[in-house]
Amino acid sequence: MQLPGGEGTRSGGERKYVPALARAAVAVGIDALFMEIHEDPDRPLKDGRPLSDGPNMLRLDDLPALLAEIKAIRAALSPSEDL
């Protein structure tokens, strides 16, 4: 979840809300999700500056579990093809 200007001169964010917002979006029938993913979103660039959207990025290690949850929600809401 992005917070424009949340860190003064750049955007801040609340990474902890990404999974809940993604699950909620899928539950209400969204057709697509856009998520920023990085292996280490808190790591600064070589010149010491932070990644531009680091606070908003989901950690790569957290993606598989979230995708499994999203897939399960989508499957529960989709009509069965066997009917």
* Amino acid making up residue 10: R
Query: Residue 83 pLDDT more than 50?
Result: no
Q: Give the CA radius of gyration of the chain.
A: 16
* Amino acid making up residue 56: N
Residue written as tokens 């790591």? 43
Model confidence pLDDT, tens digit, residues 7-61: 656 566 778 889 999 999 999 999 899 988 988 888 888 887 776 677 788 899 9
pLDDT band at 65 (very low <50, low <70, confident <90, very high): very high
DSSP string, the chain: -EETTTTSSS-EE-GGGHHHHHHHHHHTT-S-----EES-TTPPPTTSPPPTTGGGPEEGGGHHHHHHHHHHHHHHHSPPTT-
Is this structure's pTM higher than 0.95?
A: no
Q: Of how many residues is the chain composed?
A: 83
